[in-house]
Amino acid sequence: PKKNVKPAAPPPPVPPGLSAGGLLPPPRATPSGTPSPGRVLGDTGAPSPPPPPRVHKPCFVCSDRSSGYHYGVSSCEGCKGFFRRSIQKNMVYTCHRERNCQIDKVTRNRCQFCRLQKCFQVGMSKEAVQNDRSKRKKEVKEDLAGDELSPELAELVRRVSRAHQETFPSLGQLGKYTTNSSADHRVQLDLGLWDKFSELATKCIIKIVEFAKRLPGFTGLSMADQITLLKAACLDILMLRICTRYTPEQDTMTFSDGLTLTRTQMHNAGFGPLTDLVFAFAGQLLPLQLDDTETGLLSAICLICGDRMELEQPRHVERLQEPLLEALRVYARRRRPRQPQRFPQMLLKITDLRGISTKGAERAITLRTEIPGPMPPLIREMLENPEIFTEVGGDGPPPDPPAAQDSPPGPPKSP
């Protein structure tokens, strides 16, 4: 017997205006009876309307374009900053007219008194500025909480800073004096200036050696590694030190005895084609506003560097450098909490110094052919490679002068 099979139930009717999926309008039939592909994808056939134009609210103070709500009202960045500075610094302004100056985008900087009054009139909140400042201070304080100098790092900072200050007086401690020698135009070499410069450079090298010996751990290195590090970094530190005594207003540099030379005189004293490079580097240091401690730490990092060639114990040198890097990072962060980029910028200056030192070594080769006598012994030993001079026709290193018992300590001599 045949089984009774019930026919399948028909699908429920689709409500008008919806597709079977319930999401799209019913497909539009083409003349051939097939649905339009665009209709299946939801295309109504009409172009999409353009988005409405963005409406920028005006600044309630000067009617310039607002950047948002600041201190309770819609305002531009200029008026926001003006109001914040005025409140934070307790500024007192004076109107030179009748205290009813028009404040708009063009005139807002003409009368600070009326501009501040307008800020208050439109509803800017003095309390909001004070609360914002307290919040910022709290955030900075929390950020610095993890950047405390440990007792060991604090002692390291103290010793390096003292070593630097006692071997390199700051610009403010010097009594400046000038010379009129070849100040008007550049010449190949002014022998009088060269004699003075070479004398001062020799004294600077002695002070750099003294600085190195005061750094924790330096004299614990082998004598060979001490010599290697000093020869490799002496010109770096010499350039860093002289560039911190740059005076941009007069475009001059001052040496440790107070002698102050113009750019032209520095060129004529022996710097030659190196001059503009050195002055440019000095200008790049200015935004960092290095203090004596930061300059000392940066000098120590330049000196105690494990990537120098011919080191016997590079890992030992690297271990000495690590706390110096950490000390500079923490010290710089705490000195300028809102400028976290200062520390990496300082380290980049070491790369720049090495580039200048390379150019300095090249300049020393040509300078040897310009001066009438031998290169001063310490400059030759610390800044030059004697083999280079032999190759360009030198007669070998001149004998070292006899050391007087009361003379400052010189660098260790290589065996």
Token pair for residue 94? 């004076």
Last residue within a domain, chosen from 144, 170, 197: 144
- Domain shared by 328 and 268, yes or no: yes
- Domain shared by 139 and 157, yes or no: no
State the CATH number of the domain containing residue 242: 1.10.565.10
Q: How many folded domains does the chain comprise?
A: 2
What is the rounded distance in angstroms from the CA atom of residue 95 to the CA atom of residue 112? 7
What is the rounded distance in angstroms from the CA atom of residue 177 to the CA atom of residue 3? 123
State the CATH number of the domain containing residue 95: 3.30.50.10
Which one, of 4, 122, 114, 145, lies nearest residue 73 by Cα? Answer: 122
Query: Does residue 62 form part of some domain?
Result: no
Query: Does residue 35 form part of some domain?
Result: no
Average pLDDT rounded to a whole number, residues 32-61: 59
Tens digit of pLDDT for each residue in 293-352?
999 999 999 999 999 999 999 999 999 999 999 999 999 999 999 888 999 999 999 999
CB 95, CB 110: distance < 8 Å = no
Average pLDDT rounded to a whole number, residues 389-395: 35
- Domain shared by 118 and 225, yes or no: no
Tens digit of pLDDT for each residue in 179-230?
888 777 888 888 889 999 899 999 999 999 999 999 999 999 999 999 999 9
- Domain shared by 357 and 266, yes or no: yes
Which one, of 92, 87, 178, lies nearest residue 124 by Cα? Answer: 87
pLDDT > 60? residue 396 = no
Q: Which of 47-56, 100-109, 286-295, 355-364 has the lowest mean pLDDT?
A: 47-56
Tens digit of pLDDT for each residue in 82-129?
999 999 888 889 898 889 999 999 999 999 999 999 999 999 998 888
In this prediction the pTM is 0.59
- Domain shared by 218 and 179, yes or no: yes
- Domain shared by 333 and 232, yes or no: yes
Q: Which 8-state DSSP code applies to residue 35?
A: B
Query: Does residue 171 form part of some domain?
Result: yes
pLDDT > 70? residue 383 = no
Rounded to 10°, the helix 292-303/342-368 angle is 60
Tens digit of pLDDT for each residue in 50-72?
665 556 689 999 999 998 889 98
Average pLDDT rounded to a whole number, residues 361-379: 86
Q: Give the amino acid at 363.
A: R
Query: Does residue 408 form part of some domain?
Result: no
- Domain shared by 199 and 329, yes or no: yes
What is the rounded distance in angstroms from the CA atom of residue 396 to the CA atom of residue 412? 19
How high is the pLDDT of residue 166? 95
Higher pLDDT, 135 or 200: 200
- Domain shared by 368 and 308, yes or no: yes
- Domain shared by 110 and 241, yes or no: no
CB 27, CB 36: distance < 8 Å = yes
For residue 236, what are the domain limits?
Answer: 151-391
Exposed/middle/buried for 304, CB within 10 Å: 0-12, 13-18, 19+? Answer: buried
- Domain shared by 241 and 134, yes or no: no
How high is the pLDDT of residue 22? 44
Confidence of residue 173 (pLDDT cuts 50, 70, 90): confident
- Domain shared by 133 and 174, yes or no: no
- Domain shared by 135 and 158, yes or no: no
How high is the pLDDT of residue 353? 93
Confidence of residue 18 (pLDDT cuts 50, 70, 90): very low
Task: Tell me what the pLDDT averaged over the chain comes to.
Answer: 80
